[in-house]
Amino acid sequence: MILPEQLMQRVRAWLSSSQGYGDIAAFVAKKIAVSWSGSMPWQEYGRETRQSERGNAAEEAVHDFLVFLLAGLEDSLRRQPNLVQILLNGNFRLFLDLQWNRFIWDIQERARSKRDNPIGYLYRRFREIVKSGDEFHSATGNDGLLYFMPHGVEDELEVSLPNGNVLANETYTDWPPPPESLDIGDDGDIRVTRQWLISTAHFFRQHANRVAVDVRWFAVKEIVRYLGTVHAWLNKPQLLSASSEDQGERTVADTLTSTSEDSETRLARLQQLQSIAPLAVQLVDLLTREECCVFYWRSLDTPRSYQEIATILALKSHNQAYSIFTRVMKKIRMFCSTWPGPPVEDLEKDVAEVFIESLVGLAKNKCSGP
């Protein structure tokens, strides 16, 4: 009789092996092919992906699904006893099908929370449209932001790659709203079509050229900041509760505010921090005490060696310590790829740094605790 713990170890070993990776890759390839055929309702790796980029998209899907399986295996087997019997029967395809459905649901729920975070949702959708390559060129600037330029504009002027966000200080208070209104359903949920996104991006670019005449590249995040100004109702409270009394969150906010900032810059930073602080808490909650210890010790200015970590935690070898650290980094990448709002690479540099510092501090506390 195979016990659930033994079964879990076997499944983990299979998923972590080259054979398991090959099985997952073949499974995901079929799912992705269905998505690109137009019969799947989701777009993370779907129809809007450029033909030339589909190989990378498929690899990302394999990696993300594998991380999802490994991170949630124990919880899945505990909450769904039927999965244990399915695995004991050797029906791995059914197991993967069921987990794939949960994977897609998880992506849709966490990455497209229109009701809770409409600004974050619009930001992601504009990024998808711009990066699809159908209407716009896209490029990442030296500041790490994603920029866009409509096809055809490059013929109007000798154009270099983006060299800065020329609209960073624009208030948008005197800009008109887009000619096509943002549709709102009876349930209060926004309705965003591909055509609305494209026409709004073109309208924004045309109006931006009245401010910056010879500029062709504009930051995608400025479109969303503009919409948040002309449609103030989009700026709903995000993840920080008004009743929160967590001292750590206040400390993080204080770190990034200074008397030299103007009120608009200060408000923008606080809004980002109000999302970042509780996200760091959520992420660390997903890590075990052992994982927190490994992550913290490897994040020190002088990181502990894997052999030292293995000795402290009474692990079998330094390889096990390395494996734990790798697992933590996969969890962090998976979490950051699906959180609401701008992706971590598009945050202000100091805001992103505080997020990392918060993770390290929270991991240290969890490691030191009981």
Identify the band that residue 1 occupies on the pLDDT scale cut at 50, 70 and 90. Answer: very low
Q: What is the DSSP string of 95-122?
A: HHHHHHHHHHHHHHHHH--TTT-HHHHH
Residue 239: inside a domain, yes or no? no
* Last residue of one domain, picked from the residues 71, 91, 111: 111
133 and 195 part of one domain: yes
Instruction: Count the domains in the chain.
Output: 3
9 and 106 part of one domain: yes
pLDDT at 137: 86
Residue 359: inside a domain, yes or no? yes
27 and 128 part of one domain: no
Instruction: Please determine, for residue 99, whether its predicted confidence score (pLDDT) is greater than 90.
Output: no
107 and 131 part of one domain: no
pLDDT at 294: 93
Residue type, 282: Q
Burial of 17 (0-12, 13-18, 19+ CB in 10 A): exposed
Residue 193: inside a domain, yes or no? yes
Residue 279: inside a domain, yes or no? yes
Please tell me whether the overall predicted TM-score, pTM, comes out greater than 0.85 for this model.
no
β-pairing, 183-184 vs 218-219, is unpaired
302 and 332 part of one domain: yes
* Last residue of one domain, picked from the residues 234, 266, 296: 234
Tens of pLDDT, residue by residue over 8-33, are 788 888 887 888 888 888 998 888 77
Residue 240: inside a domain, yes or no? no
Residue 241: inside a domain, yes or no? no
Range of 176's domain?
Answer: 118-234
Residue 175: inside a domain, yes or no? yes
- Identify which of 163, 151, 166, 251 has the alpha carbon closest to the alpha carbon of residue 208: 166
22 and 104 part of one domain: yes
* Last residue of one domain, picked from the residues 173, 203, 234: 234
127 and 228 part of one domain: yes
Average pLDDT, stretch 262-287?
Answer: 63
Mean per-residue pLDDT of the chain: 73
Tens of pLDDT, residue by residue over 47-96, are 434 444 445 567 777 877 887 787 777 777 777 778 888 888 888 888 88
More confident residue, 51 or 296: 296
162 and 193 part of one domain: yes
| Cβ contact 228:235 at 8 Å | yes
204 and 225 part of one domain: yes
222 and 269 part of one domain: no
Instruction: Please determine, for residue 285, whether its predicted confidence score (pLDDT) is greater than 60.
Output: yes
